[in-house]
Structure 1
Amino acid sequence: MKTLKKSTIFLALISVGMSAQDTIMPLWPKSIPNQHQSNEEEVISKSDDGILWVTNVQKPTLEVYLPSKRNMTGQAVVIFPGGGYYGLAYDWEGTDIAKALTANGIAGIVVKYRLPRSKSITEGKNVVPLQDAQRAIRLVRSKSEKWNIASNKIGIMGFSAGGHLASTLGTHYSESVYEKQDEADDLSARPDFMALIYPVITLGAPSTHTGSRTSLLGEKPTNDEVDYLSNEKHVNKDTPPTFLLHAMDDDAVPVENSIMFFDALREHNVPTTMHVYPTGGHGFSLALKDKKLKGWIDLFFDWMANLD
């Protein structure tokens, strides 16, 4: 038994040594805004199809994956997993994506962000995910020298509801939504680029994802609340260059979400690329088992390589 424990410790140390660059760090150094302590507990579970789900997030974090220094491009992508603002598909649309990025020399940083349904959130439930998103990119920017990342090459990627959060950050990055906690909060929260993968964009009928809207705004939101987070309405000339990906047969988040955002970006002369596949449905992540879809990540890498 003692030998088994020693072996386990030894293997753990090897594992830590091999992943010394992979770090989990708290998002907020002091108090977490709009939150109070409650008896609610964070839940980590696996779905029937094996996806690691996180619900009731209490302490938002960054999980950082860095490629070896010699392979680094200097680019970084901050990743927002989806889950309808009810949970986070944490490996499927988070850590799996980060690992794919690091294999191509790009830092991948997964955000475990708070969800509006949490009983620990005291006020401003609709703005809490944006607080975490703004803080996440500022914190990454503050660590750019330490992590060998170029401070002007930090983008974001979001999936489904995480795509809504990413597009919210890309269109509301300049708004003050929390009190400064440290020097990182003096830095810009503007992403240098965005990748929105089968994203929720609008909260308006008929094209929204009803579950995401209800989780974020409740059952009976006002028109102003809906308009504020219908992000196709907030694009301007300073919105970051955007990569959009969707499937035409997505019956959860209609493809019109990406089309509306593309049209708004084009109207304001924001560089954008959109790929719409005829099939694929929703929530396909890397789509490694789909012959037609599995190459989408390579299209994204090519797009990143040609950013100005």
Structure 2
Amino acid sequence: MRLIGVLFGFLFMISSVFSQDQVVQLWDDIPNSQETDEKEDVKQGDILKIYTVKTPTLEIYVPAKRHATDKAVVICPGGGYHFLSYDWEGTDVAKWFNSKGITAFVLKYRLPTSKSLKTAHEAPLQDAQRAMRWVRAHAEDYDINPNKIGVIGFSAGGHLASTLGTRFDAPNTFKEQPLDTISARPDFMALIYPVITMKQGFVHMGSRDRLLGKSPNQALITKYSNELQVSKKTPPTFLVHSSDDHAVPVENSIKFYSALKSEGVDAELHIYPYGKHGYSLAINKGRLQTWTDRMDDWLRSF
């Protein structure tokens, strides 16, 4: 009996080590929301997709202590503002960052198609701002330098990341808690085949329709065309895109890079001749797979 008791105690201890704080809720009282009969929908196929996010969270991935750096990153998966490619552009990417000693936080953010939102286009940025503030507030808990916290986004997640990078100081429209007064500015930003513009010509219409509605006014289009929102305060940015991307044209990244350059913001742009759209880590895709090596090189400057 004594042996069984010791064994159960050991198993409980191991369980506690591996389960504590792995997923945290971002809000006690979720702003800009209302009660509906919607339920969060998770579909597992080749990619784990999450629809109709009800409870925004951060899933935390911590590297082995012996090779941990003091850097961290918030990851915004893509999915056209319709769903989140949660493993493909989220948790798999978090594990890559861990392999480089970087603590990673996968953001499960609210999607603007939800009936549970009062002002749909505001919700993703609210969650991204809160995520950055939460990580900065808890930096000491994870041995993170609060001045070395970045954001990375893929596709529509790249639009959210670049919205955070250009409008991190957007005022809160809800009753603030002390956490909401912390800076939400990322210290660096990586945008991978990102949606950037909401203007006709190079816009990804699916993302625009879901974020802004079918007939947005010009002020809203301008507000969320992030190439128009770049300032000298926008963080240093790393961009990757492919010339044959017919879903989100490469001009999205080119326009953002040009805006960064005009404002004197440190920027690095890699354009590959192939890859199309949505390749995540690009494993087994020839030299396209080396985009993460280029980002690793770039991250050494922070």
TM-score (structure 2 length as normaliser): 0.94
Alignment-mate amino acid for residue 40 of structure 2: E
Report whether the alignment pairs 1:38 with 2:33: no
Deviation at 1:98, TM superposition (A): 0.4
Q: Which secondary structure does the structure 1 equivalent of 2:255 belong to? A: helix
Between the aligned partners of 1:117 and 1:84, the Cα distance in structure 2 is: 11
From 282, 288, 296, the equivalent of 1:293 is 288
Report whether the alignment pairs 1:204 with 2:199: yes
Deviation at 1:238, TM superposition (A): 0.8
The 8 Å contact of residues 60 and 113 in structure 1, kept in 2 or not, is answered as: yes
Between the aligned partners of 2:88 and 2:209, the Cα distance in structure 1 is: 23
Between the aligned partners of 2:20 and 2:100, the Cα distance in structure 1 is: 16
The 1:18–1:248 alpha-carbon spacing in structure 2 relative to 1, beyond 3 Å, is farther
The residue number in structure 1 matching 2:96 is 100
Question: Which structure features the higher share of helix residues?
Answer: 2
From 167, 189, 194, the equivalent of 1:194 is 189
From 81, 85, 97, the equivalent of 2:81 is 85
Between the aligned partners of 2:139 and 2:240, the Cα distance in structure 1 is: 28
Deviation at 1:295, TM superposition (A): 1.2
Deviation at 1:293, TM superposition (A): 1.0
Q: Which secondary structure does the structure 2 equivalent of 1:300 belong to? A: helix
Deviation at 1:70, TM superposition (A): 2.3
Alignment-mate amino acid for residue 247 of structure 2: A
Please list the CA deviations of residues 206-233 of structure 1 after superposition, one character each: whole Å capped at 9, or x if unmatched.
1010000000011111111100000000
Q: Which secondary structure does the structure 1 equivalent of 2:289 belong to? A: coil
The alignment of Structure 1 onto Structure 2 pairs a total of residues equal to: 295
Between the aligned partners of 1:268 and 1:163, the Cα distance in structure 2 is: 20
The 8 Å contact of residues 72 and 150 in structure 2, kept in 1 or not, is answered as: yes
Between the aligned partners of 1:298 and 1:19, the Cα distance in structure 2 is: 29
Structure 1 unaligned runs (5+)? 1-8
Alignment-mate amino acid for residue 88 of structure 1: L
The residue number in structure 1 matching 2:54 is 58
Alignment-mate amino acid for residue 53 of structure 1: K
Deviation at 1:15, TM superposition (A): 7.5
Structure 1 runs (4+) deviating above 4 angstroms are 12-15
Deviation at 1:174, TM superposition (A): 0.9
The residue number in structure 1 matching 2:209 is 214
Alignment-mate amino acid for residue 138 of structure 2: K
The 8 Å contact of residues 110 and 124 in structure 2, kept in 1 or not, is answered as: yes
The residue number in structure 2 matching 1:4 is none
Matches within 5 A, 1:1-308: 16=15, 19-20=18-19, 23-29=22-28, 31-47=29-45, 50-122=46-118, 124-307=119-302
Please list the CA deviations of residues 185-209 of structure 1 after superposition, one character each: whole Å capped at 9, or x if unmatched.
1210000000000000000111010
Q: Which secondary structure does the structure 1 equivalent of 2:152 belong to? A: strand
Q: Which secondary structure does the structure 2 equivalent of 1:127 belong to? A: helix
Deviation at 1:18, TM superposition (A): 6.4
Q: Which secondary structure does the structure 2 equivalent of 1:126 belong to? A: helix
**CA RMSD for the aligned pairs?**
1.8
Between the aligned partners of 2:172 and 2:255, the Cα distance in structure 1 is: 26
